[in-house]
Amino acid sequence: MNAAINERLPQFADGVHLTEAELLACRGLARALPDRKARARAAMSGHRSSLIKGRGMEFAEVRHYQQGDDIRTIDWRVTARTGKAHTKLFVEERERPVLLLVDLKHSLYFGSTLLLQAVQAAHLAATLGWNAIQQGDRLGALIVSDKQQRELKPRARDNGILALISALTSVHNAQLNHPNSQPPEQLMAHSCRQLARIAKPGSLVWIITDGLGFGDDCLQALTTIKRHSDIAAFVVSDPLRTGELSLPKRFALPVKDNGQSLLLDRHSYDAWRDRQQQQMQQFELMMQSLGATVRRIDAGINLNQQLNLLR
């Protein structure tokens, strides 16, 4: 790995292996993210109500009724006293369950530029986890690899984030040292069904994946979750898979993907890239059909340069 790449690597990271030190350092990235509870309160004003389905609601303040406010929140006492309609504002309950589905299956052990996609997924999960703890939420996770699924029950404060960091490091290094190729469709269908069993009403669910292997069984399970919780997703991509890496007209590119060693020329690379893109787009369309936000995170760029996508 040349000096230019080393300068762009996250603190304590080598791009392939995963250490607790680099995930602890993600705390600094989380501090740069805005207060989600403040955004939730702001979203309840004006013409739109908050999308957050909290387990409980905490009273925040009373203000003048505005067109588009829910009439069920009108404060009739203040309205009667002042002669003008007033409405109550609420914020979500503190210690909301935040649940991460972190996909570390074999297809994420791919990297052409800076980091393995699996390493970027772990950095993203740790950053979101640190942010959840800073918001006072309880943090849990379902970490999925070909060989194991690690379930972490939502826990508050340092207990939640330290358990996540330890599990991410353990699962990643086990998968890195002993790769396997379980069919992604079976793996992700089982994972989504398990996620539906453990996601409690009012949870905030983050899905971190490369988007491969999500079929109709996944859609059914995620639909169940969406009825009572919020879901958002991040697709971790790689510049070679998305066609953003500049390549010469003629080349012979050795690639190891899904446990297979491939030698790609221009024609076979274009077909391979198109298949990757199609699968990612299918996942994104699935999430959009659920009304869930989905964004792409590039494993070829340091996460600190992509924090705008986390806001």
- Mean pLDDT over 111-117 rounds to 95
- pTM for the model: 0.81
Q: Taking 90 as the threshold, does the pLDDT of residue 172 lie above it?
A: yes
Q: Taking 80 as the threshold, does the pLDDT of residue 258 lie above it?
A: no
| Alpha-helical runs (H) found in 32-156 | 36-43, 76-82, 117-134
Query: Residue holding tokens 């995930």?
Result: 23
Cα 64 to Cα 68, 71, 257, 306: the distances in Å are 12, 12, 58, 38
Helix count and strand count (H, E) for the chain: 11, 10
Closest by CA to 70, choosing from 36, 46, 94, 52, is: 46
What number does CATH give the domain 3-35+95-310? 3.40.50.410
Q: Please report, as a single letter, which amino acid is at residue 8.
A: R
Predicted local confidence at residue 58, as pLDDT: 59
Predicted local confidence at residue 7, as pLDDT: 57
Cα 43 to Cα 38, 177, 231: the distances in Å are 9, 46, 17
- Mean pLDDT over 215-225 rounds to 95
CA dist 40 and 45 (Å) reads 9
pLDDT band for position 59 (50/70/90)?
low
Residue 55 falls in which region: left (phi positive, over 0), alpha (psi -120 to 50) or beta: alpha
For the chain, domain boundaries: 3-35+95-310, 36-92
pLDDT above 70: percentage of residues in the chain:
87
Count the neighbouring beta carbons within 10 Å of the beta carbon of residue 72: 7
Predicted local confidence at residue 127, as pLDDT: 98
Predicted local confidence at residue 4, as pLDDT: 54
Q: Taking 50 as the threshold, does the pLDDT of residue 47 lie above it?
A: no
Q: Which of these ranges, 141-145, 249-253, 255-259, has the smallest mean pLDDT?
A: 255-259
- Mean pLDDT over 169-192 rounds to 89
CA dist 176 and 227 (Å) reads 36
pLDDT band for position 218 (50/70/90)?
very high
Count the neighbouring beta carbons within 10 Å of the beta carbon of residue 188: 26
State pLDDT tens for residues 123-153. Answer: 999 999 999 999 899 999 999 999 899 999 9
Token pair, residue 121, equals: 């997924």
